[in-house]
């Protein structure tokens, strides 16, 4: 298969965009990605877009066609990808496979979600469809409740503490201070996080990612043509995806995401590196316990040691592995369809040395990890500086 590189990326600010429409966000991120890639629309051969719930949130389906139309890229083939909160990561994987197969040389991959047009209750109901609607959501188990169950079990089995959960949020807010695209750019203290209102015990307000609007786009190119466009392409050296039961009741354990473990094993095999080689990782921290599970399941720390590693500062900027330098879903924001693509943009900019005050020193390898629902889908990509 052909090797694939990212040649550019673009983001909107993540947050509550009352004055910007769904289609305007697509256009803004797309225009920025084209500019960053030094290409024109005529160079693109296909489009893949991640979007989870626009039908429920906006009444807008047929998002693939909307993206092509809004970017002025008709009549290119444009395909919407849906995998709950992993929609962006799956769209990225589809774009990579399209080039690796030899079908195309250059494709655009986007992700978008506009979540603030409805009430919090309506947004929660839409997001609940990422789990098992019949067995979980119908019986009142929203995602804070499901991840709270995982947190409780992790605390019981491994001694993980509420303070360790809170420290994930403190770290990610500190990183987001230096990210101009982040929804929350103010630091928080451990005391603030610990004293915040309880959402689903033990998860408190600052343990939960926000409802967000936003869009992200990357441009992919075959590595053998990438340098015709830019001087510093970043190669995608692994793309892996795995699945697990939709409901928690079908899982082997509540303290691991098996889909993450399987996708990570596959990704590291493809990349021919180990977790110790990774300099930075954008992991799916929809809740702080999700970050702790991720850094264990991806192999950065032994099972049960993720909380202690966070407490000891091993996931801070320029530490053992710099985790969620963008601020993560927690502080940068989580417009669900856009998240997996935003993670790729952050990895691109870090490996190009363009991350400003959140730059990881001498970064060579980066990883992104995108999860759908409570772990029914997991997508892992690994990137290398050329």
Q: Tokens 């921290």 — which residue? A: 285
Sequence-distant (≥ 6) Cβ neighbours of residue 281 within 8 angstroms:
294, 295, 298, 300, 321, 322, 323, 324, 366, 367, 368, 369
Which of the residues 334, 347, 369, 381 is marked catalytic? Answer: 334
3-state secondary structure of 285: coil
3-state secondary structure of 323: strand
308 and 181 Cβ atoms separated by less than 8 Å: no
Evaluate the CA torsion angle 374, 88, 176, 121 in order and state its sign: negative
Cis peptide before 151 (omega within 30 of 0): no
First-to-final CA distance of the chain? 18
Cis peptide before 75 (omega within 30 of 0): yes
Active-site residue, 381 included: no
145 and 207 Cβ atoms separated by less than 8 Å: no
9 and 31 Cβ atoms separated by less than 8 Å: no
Question: Cα–Cα distance between 196 and 16 in angstroms, integer?
Answer: 21
Q: What are phi and psi of 85, to 5 degrees?
A: -70, -10
Dihedral-angle region of residue 11 (phi above 0 means left; psi in -120 to 50 means alpha; beta otherwise):
beta
Active-site residue, 85 included: yes
Which of the residues 81, 85, 286, 332 is marked catalytic? Answer: 85
Question: Cα–Cα distance between 241 and 249 in angstroms, integer?
Answer: 21
158 and 304 Cβ atoms separated by less than 8 Å: yes
Q: Tell me how many helices (H) and strands (E) the chain has.
A: 14, 12
Active site residues: 85, 334
């Amino acid at each position: 298969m052909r090797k694939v590189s990212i040649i550019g990326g673009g983001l909107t600010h993540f947050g509550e965009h009352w004055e910007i429409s769904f289609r305007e966000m697509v256009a803004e991120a797309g225009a920025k990605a084209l500019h960053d890639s030094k290409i024109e629309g005529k160079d693109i051969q296909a489009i893949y877009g991640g979007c989870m719930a626009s039908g429920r949130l906006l009444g807008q389906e047929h998002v693939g066609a909307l993206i092509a139309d809004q970017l002025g890229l008709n009549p290119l083939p444009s395909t919407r990808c849906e995998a709950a909160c992993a929609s962006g990561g799956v769209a990225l994987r589809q774009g990579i496979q399209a080039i690796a197969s030899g079908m195309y040389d250059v494709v655009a991959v986007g992700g978008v979600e506009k979540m603030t047009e409805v009430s919090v209750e309506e947004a929660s109901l839409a997001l609940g469809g990422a789990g098992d609607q019949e067995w979980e959501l119908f019986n009142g188990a929203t995602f804070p409740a499901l991840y709270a169950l995982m947190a409780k079990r992790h605390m019981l089995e491994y001694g993980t503490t509420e303070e360790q959960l809170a420290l994930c949020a403190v770290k990610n807010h500190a990183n987001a201070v230096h990210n101009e695209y982040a929804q929350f750019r103010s630091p928080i203290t451990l005391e603030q996080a610990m004293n915040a209102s309880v959402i689903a015990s033990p998860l408190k307000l600052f343990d939960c990612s926000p409802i967000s609007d936003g869009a992200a786009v990357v441009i992919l190119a075959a590595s053998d043509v990438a340098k015709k466009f830019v001087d510093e392409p970043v190669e995608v050296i692994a793309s892996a995806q795995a699945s697990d039961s939709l409901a928690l009741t079908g899982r082997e354990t509540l303290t691991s995401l098996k889909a993450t473990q399987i996708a990570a094993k596959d990704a590291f095999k493809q990349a021919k590196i180990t977790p110790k080689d990774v300099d930075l990782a954008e992991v799916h921290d929809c809740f702080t316990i999700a970050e702790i599970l991720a850094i264990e399941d991806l192999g950065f720390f032994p099972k049960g040691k993720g909380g202690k590693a966070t407490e000891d500062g091993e996931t801070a900027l320029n530490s053992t592995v710099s985790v969620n330098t963008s601020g993560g879903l927690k502080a940068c924001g989580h417009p669900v369809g856009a998240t997996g693509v935003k993670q790729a943009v952050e990895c691109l900019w870090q490996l190009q040395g363009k991350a400003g005050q959140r730059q990881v020193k001498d970064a060579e390898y980066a990883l992104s990890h995108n999860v759908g629902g409570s772990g029914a889908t997991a997508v892992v990509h690994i990137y290398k500086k050329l």
